[in-house]
Structure 1
Amino acid sequence: MTTIRLVRGDITRESADAIVNAANSSLLGGGGVDGAIHRRGGPAILAECRRLRAGHYGKGLATGQAVATTGDLDARWVIHTVGPRYSHEEDRSALLASCHRESLRVADELGARTVAFPAVSAGIYGWPIDDAARIAVETVREATTVEEVRFVLFDEKAYDAFARQLD
């Protein structure tokens, strides 16, 4: 059974087999978590992402999918996933669940035992934090053989939302 832990802090400083990057579809860096991981992880991440774009992911990574690179972090792998933007008109919760499921599938294939996730889509993509936490925790509970999943949450509001889901 997977242990789920919550940490308040900076995901780029987590020691885990893999950290999940809330990436944009270009895989070439951006703002928020994506920018922080690219900055802290050094040029190796960008170089590998460029190779991915030159190959199978020429049009970028689709929303809900995941792919791994390495990087200069205290994690062996960075698993990039593209979260959906929140919409009042369309239910995109299956895509958000897919981000977690696909990231964990990649982690399982890599043999990762510990995985650290941010609150995917709950930043600039506007997903309400309580709903993002519910989808993330439910999906992780159903989807992996990874020994430990850590949700690394930047602020108290996000931490509290995830804590409510674990109670």
Structure 2
Amino acid sequence: MMRIFLSLFVFFFLAACTNEASFEDRSAQLPDDIISAIEPLPDDIKDDILIPSKLLSDKYSVDFGYTSEPVNNPNGKIVLSYLIYADENSDWNITLNTFHNPSSPSNEYKNNETVKLINGAEATYSETKDGLQRAILWTGNEITHEISLIENPERSKPIYTKEEFLDVVNSLK
């Protein structure tokens, strides 16, 4: 009897540890209007959307949108969803694109290199020659994620490092 109880305990403990955070848990930092815009989407789409728990500053605005077939139908085939974070001081803009079907997003950046993310995924890191635009792209479970950082183009040099950008990417849940 004790063995059965112990086996069940271990099973449920492992199951609880491997569960990913729900959309409600992950979206706690999002404004209510953004959560309301995402809510009508199917659960599997909401589960695919990654949300950062860390950004480059504390004051920013957020926008959300999606592309569907038929157009603007949350019950249709969702092709792409995106979150756009914009710094209040216009220092940076971060866009998170989730391609919900196998896709090949355009990547106009140069200097590609492979990086390993904290979740174990191998991703392609790219940046423009001036370093003011960076992107990371990876695919898993037929879902492609692309996150890009665009710094204020009025600057001649970036103020954020590759490591700071990777910290944002690795905070995605």
TM over 0.5: no
TM-score of the superposition, structure 2-length normalised?
0.28
- Of structures 1 and 2, the larger Rg is shown by 2
Structure with the largest fraction of strand: 2
Structure with the largest fraction of helix: 1
TM-score of the superposition, structure 1-length normalised?
0.29
